[in-house]
Amino acid sequence: MPTKETYSNHRTNPHRGLNPAQMEAVLASVGPLLVLAGAGTGKTRVVISRILHLVRQGTPPERILAVTFTNKAAREMVLRIGRKFDPKSKPPKDKNKDFQPKKPEISTIHSLCVRILRRHAERAGYPQRFVIVNRGEQETTARRVLKELKVAEATLRPADLLDRVSRWKSRGVRPNEVFDTLSADADDSWDLAAAGYQRYQRLMQGVGAVDFDDLLLLVDQLFEQHDAIREQEATRFDHILVDEYQDTSGIQERILSALARDHRSLCVVGDDDQSIYAWRGAQISHILDFPTRWPGATVVRLEENYRSTPEIIEAANQLIECNSRRHGKTLVSKVPSGLKPSIVQAQDEVDEARRVTADVQALLMERFAPPNEMAVLVRTGEQTRVFETELRHRNIPYELIGSRSFFDRREVKDVLSFLRLLVDQSDDLALARIANVPPRGLSYNALEKARRKASETGKTLWVTLLELKQSGQLSPAASTGVEKLEQLISLGPANTTRGLTAADALQRALNQAHYRQYLEKEFEDEKEQEARWQSVEEIVNGLARYEKEHGSAEPATTVQRYLDDLILEVTEAERFEEDKPKGNALKLMTLHAAKGLEFDCVWMVGLEENLLPHIRATNEGLSAIDEERRLCYVGVTRARQRLVLSLALTRMKWGKAKPCKPSRFLYELTGQPEKFSEGPATPREKVGAKPRKRQAPK
């Protein structure tokens, strides 16, 4: 039994309100456990309750690891589980020290791998203070690679190279293995990409930099080549819980399995019916084959839905039952009956937008739901334009989810590079960005000279600049620039007077560099100047908040952790094309971005063949269609009370109106899959069946 120092509410029933299936999942014996959690069945509550159950059984909280799919989910779980632990534990004798009660470790797998890699970086061939680069820095490196390989952009663009590199890394393919993976009929661009991958990785490692995918690739490599390291990391935890298991890639699954291999206390929670990230490397086979890969695994099905009306759930069940391979489960709604999903048939995409926005406006006037409880879901981003026009026309407040990241702004990248350089002068990428920002006499030619010298000697760019200055090989202006950089670096948190925070050091460095004056010269408009400076201020404020919450370590270490967390969160936002919804406004977003969210009213638009399912899927076959059906299922199950499905009879393509066919998913949602016989075969239709006359279901 736990002590009152570790667990709050220990005298109350922690399982109060759980249904029998949820209770079974929480109390299941230690060992491999698969919890099949359908949409809206309370999976997060089950994960938290199981963690608390393990603690009540005597497991120290810090010996439990919970892995979530996104930082947003991790934050939510930390917040919810934090309320369950008593902060009034016995404080240390030294009252001057901050006391934090021990809690389970909750993070994304990338955050977990950062911490593992920091502990063993040298064994992986990297400095302990390696840098995690952002997308812009990746593209700069990719552009350099293609230039060195003399590859024309028409043949292979930097973004395309990075996309292929990412796909290889997500599959666990290392640079020395990449040529072995190429098929015999692959075109020349793949050979160029493979050569680019090898050179890209050498350049990155040469400056002590890793990208988002490297975090997993390098840890996977460490575990494979050094079993002692795997054992050391595995023994940190007695129990591992994984959320959204259906979205794990091959390399993610290998890392998690390696950590759980010895104690076998692996609880995975997910829904194969919501696996929609195959294009990003997710493998649905992980959740489908879990009982086979982990013999003796317990399987629990959560089928009671607490989100949507019975009418919406019935449609969702009818749809997903058409998939060719899945774990058998049928959702049952536990909320009162409501409206049946309705279908809107429009003449074209403009008419569709007008009908949908008119419906939105009518519901707002009836006060059926507030704007922030409404969402219009599209299959592709291009569909949003006409809806934006109509929403603005009707003065309906809306938010387009997936806008440009705050961290893509020039001034933000500059300030983060300043911060990186203040704590680590060996960070060549950061130095290269701000060496002459603001201008301080370090010309492009001087920097290129230093880069070449650094490449020849194997020394860092900063050390090389200092040596060139001391030997008189730099111009007077460039030497002055190096001296000014030295003055800035001396303001770093490790070199400042005791009691000065890293945020203070960064602010002093920006002031000494006259960065605000630089922005004022770069942008004439005063509003633009102020907006840019506010972005700078937000970085400083964010660092200050982080130091206040996590600043127990040495300043340089705290800054490094802040940068790690920041880049992981930014990269995640970029990968998932979503921002946290804000304000009382309707949400306009893609189906992928909607995963994990829920709304009172949902309009799913563009339910037409070659749009949903997407044309790529119709050309790729049954498994691709199954994933599109799961994507449609995700959209349907976002709705609590009202679901509207819309389609257009024609759509403009290359300046001409082209006829559209109703999506096969419309027939399946209404229990009429037999009315659609075109496209890849489904379990409900026979290959070669006679085509039937098709019309939108009623």
Catalytic entry in 354, 630, 638, 642: 638
Q: Which of 89-93, 100-104, 445-449 has the highest average model confidence (pLDDT)? A: 445-449
Specify the 3-state DSSP secondary structure of 345: strand
* pLDDT tens, position by position, 281-318: 888 999 999 999 999 999 999 999 999 999 999 999 99
* pLDDT tens, position by position, 537-582: 878 877 887 887 776 667 778 888 888 887 776 665 555 444 444 5
Cα 517–Cα 521–Cα 525 angle in degrees, nearest 5: 110
Q: What is the pLDDT of residue 572?
A: 59
Catalytic entry in 211, 213, 220, 244: 244
Catalytic entry in 6, 274, 618, 637: 274
* pLDDT tens, position by position, 469-485: 999 898 999 899 999 99
Question: What is d(CA 143, CA 157) in angstroms, rounded to the nearest whole number?
Answer: 8
43 catalytic? Reply is: yes
How far, in Å, are 52, 230, 238, 260 from residue 256 at the CA level? Answer: 21, 11, 13, 6
Q: What is the pLDDT of residue 422?
A: 87
Catalytic entry in 243, 247, 504, 628: 243
% the chain with pLDDT above 70: 86
Catalytic entry in 24, 44, 221, 351: 44
Q: Which of 255, 320, 246, 254 is nearest to 289 (CA)?
A: 246
- Contacts of 648-657 with C-beta under 8 Å, sequence gap 24+, read 648/346, 648/347, 648/348, 648/349, 648/351, 648/352, 648/606, 648/608, 649/345, 649/346, 649/347, 649/348, 650/347, 650/348, 651/348, 651/349, 651/608, 651/611, 652/348, 652/349, 657/348
274 catalytic? Reply is: yes
For residue 128, pLDDT beyond 90: no
Mean pLDDT is lowest, of 61-70, 308-317, 637-646, for: 61-70
Q: What is the pLDDT of residue 697?
A: 52
Q: Which one has a higher pLDDT value, 333 or 690? A: 333
For residue 614, pLDDT beyond 70: yes
* Confidence class for position 694, pLDDT limits 50, 70, 90: very low
Decide: pTM greater than 0.85: no
For every residue of 264-317, DSSP letters joined together read: --EEEEE-GGG---GGGTB-THHHHTHHHHSTT-EEEEE-EESSS-HHHHHHHH
Question: What is d(CA 111, CA 212) in angstroms, rounded to the nearest whole number?
Answer: 10
Catalytic entry in 41, 43, 50, 252: 43
* Confidence class for position 371, pLDDT limits 50, 70, 90: very high
Residues 166, 172, 178, 183: what is their CA dihedral angle, to the nearest 10 degrees?
A: -90
* pLDDT tens, position by position, 166-183: 889 988 899 999 998 888
Q: Write out the two tokens for 502.
A: 């890293």
| DSSP structural state of residue 404 | P
Specify the 3-state DSSP secondary structure of 643: strand
| DSSP structural state of residue 69 | S
% the chain with pLDDT above 90: 41
- Chain position carrying tokens 């982990």: 294
243 catalytic? Reply is: yes
